[in-house]
Amino acid sequence: MSGSVVLFSVPMLPGVSTMPGYTVTVATGSQWFAGTDDYIYMTLVGTERSSERTLLDKPLYNDFERGAVDSYEISVGENLGDIELVKIEKKKYWMHDDWYCKYITVKTPSGDYLEFPCFRWIVDDKEVILRDGRARLPQDDKTRVAKQHRRKELEMRQKTFRWKEWHPGFPMSIDAQTHKELPRDIQFDSEKGVDFALNYSKAIENLCINQFMHMFQSSWGDFADFERIFVRIKNTISEYVMQHWKEDFMFGYQFLNGCNPVMIKKCTSIPSKFPVTHEMVSDCLERDLTLEEELKEGNLYIADYEIMDEVTPNSTDPCTLQFLAAPICLLYKNSQNKIMPIAIQLSQTPGEDSPIFLPSDDEYDWLLAKIWVRSADFHVHQTVTHLLRTHLISEVFGIAMYRQLPAVHPVYKLIVPHIRFTIAINTKAREQLICECGIFDKANGTGGGGHVELVQKAMKKFTYKSLCFPDGIKDRGMDSQKDLPYYFYRDDGIKVWDTVKSFVTDVVNIYYDSDETVQKDEEIQAFVKDICSFGMQDFDYCEFPKALQTREQLVEYLTVVIFTASAQHAAINFGQFDWCSWIPNAPPTMRKPPPTKKGEVDVKFIVESLPDRGRSCWHLGAVWALSQFQENELFLGMYPDEQFTEKSVKKAMETFQKNLSEVSKSIKSRNEGKKLPYYYFSPDRIPNSVAV
């Protein structure tokens, strides 16, 4: 037999045997369990021919360890032509051992250097076929191999990423019951890190509120009593809130720069359902004008919680009935340009049983009316501003991306960092937080059904345009800086929006040379169509585009995707602890119905309306946990995974980062010396994606 081996090697004599090989370098991820002991095979597919399937193995060396960058030679008999694809196969060694491959580089015999971004898990016996890192639109691919690769990738993804309706009338979410069922690539790196239950007990431990849990259903004694669960916390803003929460300026300030700064609107006429008269509020007006004249001058604003009307409070627990209200609040811009509340009605129907509360009323009547507004604001913030308008919509963008854009598409590369862990966090939340018996229900007045009604109602007013930050501001009549100089949410938000938009414009212009290129990109058209027709359930009133005609429209669309997932979520998520931890400032539930008469309220009545000790503790734990950044958080514009290999894009990213740090600097200097700094839109505090 040995003779035949010798015979076989005869043709490999002089000349041919010196054909130099390819050097491939393989980078393994550095997260937990990224390494593998399985066998890894590689095949290089060239335009002329393919290499042999080669086992990557270095003798006496443990290949593919976590964080490793290993190089191998792949020898070839003849020239392969240009390398079109790299095929990686994993085969079981002992037990299946998942592997996270970051990227592969190939050095050709002629010294060319090719990059193949991977950034995915290779599980079981699955194979992965990679294209080189140059992003291409579908119409740029001419060869059969390339076209087929795109099609196959999408076919596979559409099998794994399926739409499912969580509740009727909601945006669609992923078809998976649990985090474990999700494709490995979109799961959290470690299950523990995001376990709400764990996190939750941790929070409660941290905040040292354990000792109160056993007194679950008892009321606090008075306001000072709330301070007892508060002492451990050192947070400048929440302490300031605790000291000033009763004051009108503090109440008014939160409409502009609190954690739900999206409810306030310019008031253009006093609605007939809220019959405030000049006589009622004349004490508050500072300009010697009538209410009508103040209105004409543009000094009146309004916050209407109409959406809360007839939402069912949860009343399963007969020991603690819970109540909701749908208040309306009239706001006045005083001569110092501060926003002050001047009238509050606690329902949508005026009448004897629904008096209009005024600052001139008895101290506790007025205070309780404001508390009711804060409680309604809390529910709308959690359910509409936060859950629907950032978490659920980002999930829609993410699912559509996986279903319609292959990894070689420039828009996939652009937005994949901005949907990282979003489907995972939402799945976790559906599993543990906002399900029946979830944490949400434990303390929220809208728990167990109410929040579902709220999302359903909010969906009917949820337009694409409202996600375009400048349009949203303008729609509420809040766009004039001269008119309202202290609306930092607006000023900072516009800066970040413009910066994101300028980056997106740079990237779009690299790949799309005309509007026609956009129209001809079938994949991007399928992406927006999927969002509108499936993600948003084809609700016409949402006005999500069904197709994109111009580069400008594409730029706006992608700016919406990135801005919503990063900046908008940060602005309304990370202030939760600052503004909601002082419970009387954001009661997650109310235990007495809204007052129907004036003059019957005292401190005791208010304390009995506020959440009991147990619910307060749950609440505090939740707002704490939800306001934490992750370990190794990736902030806006940080792209450690090099999905793009083109220099032009890397240059655009550098400009983006430079511009973002300018914005951070300007926000920092604006905040200097302020007792209430506004920093939620500061890019150095904005994570890239919705992940908490």
Ligand X SMILES: *[C@@H]1O[C@H](CO)[C@@H](O)[C@H](O)[C@H]1NC(C)=O
Q: Which residues bind to Fe ion, rule: CB under 5 A?
A: 573
573 binds, among Fe ion, ligand X, none (CB under 5 to 8 A by kind): Fe ion
Q: Are 586 and 258 in contact (CB under 8 A)?
A: no
Q: Are 341 and 252 in contact (CB under 8 A)?
A: yes
Q: Least distance in Å: CB of 35 to ligand X?
A: 22
Quick one: 326 or 524, whose CB is closer to ligand X? 326
667 binds, among Fe ion, ligand X, none (CB under 5 to 8 A by kind): none
Q: Least distance in Å: CB of 51 to ligand X?
A: 43
441 binds, among ligand X, Fe ion, none (CB under 5 to 8 A by kind): ligand X
Cβ atoms within 10 A of the Cβ of 377, count? 26
Q: By three-state DSSP, how is residue 471 classified?
A: helix
Q: Least distance in Å: CB of 628 to ligand X?
A: 5
β 339-345/356-357 pair status: antiparallel
Q: Are 322 and 310 in contact (CB under 8 A)?
A: no
Site for ligand X in 594-653 (CB under 6 A): 615, 618-619, 622-623, 626, 628, 630-631
Distance between CA atoms of residues 591 and 572, nearest Å? 26
Per DSSP (E only), the strands in 630-670 are: none
Distance between CA atoms of residues 371 and 377, nearest Å? 10
608 binds, among ligand X, Fe ion, none (CB under 5 to 8 A by kind): none
Quick one: 573 or 682, whose CB is closer to Fe ion? 573
Q: Which position among 149, 370, 428, 442 is part of the footprint of ligand X (CB under 6 A)?
A: 442
Q: Least distance in Å: CB of 165 to Fe ion?
A: 22
Q: Least distance in Å: CB of 443 to Fe ion?
A: 17
Q: Which position among 299, 314, 334, 645 is part of the footprint of ligand X (CB under 6 A)?
A: 314
Q: Are 187 and 424 in contact (CB under 8 A)?
A: yes
497 binds, among ligand X, Fe ion, none (CB under 5 to 8 A by kind): none
Q: Least distance in Å: CB of 684 to ligand X?
A: 16
Listed as own residue / partner, the contacts of 50-56 with beta carbons closer than 8 Å and 24 or more positions apart are 50/80, 51/22, 51/76, 51/80, 52/76, 53/87, 53/89, 56/24, 56/26
DSSP class of residue 645 equals -
Q: Which of 567, 573, 684 is nearest to 628 (CA)?
A: 573
DSSP 280-323: HHGGG--SS--HHHHHHHT-EEEEE-GGGTTPPPP---TTS--B
**Interface characters, 231-270, with ligand X (x: CB under 6 A):** ----------------------------------------
Q: Which position among 444, 564, 645, 689 is part of the footprint of ligand X (CB under 6 A)?
A: 444
Q: Is 202 in the site for ligand X (CB under 6 A)?
A: yes
Give the CB-nearest residue to ligand X: 448
Q: Is 505 in the site for ligand X (CB under 6 A)?
A: no
Quick one: 259 or 548, whose CB is closer to ligand X? 259
Q: Which amino acid is at 616?
A: S
DSSP 457-470: HHHTT--SGGGSHH
Using CB under 6 A, list all residues that contact ligand X: 192-194, 198-199, 202, 312, 314-316, 382, 436-437, 439-444, 447-449, 498-499, 502, 588, 615, 618-619, 622-623, 626, 628, 630-631, 655, 658-659, 692
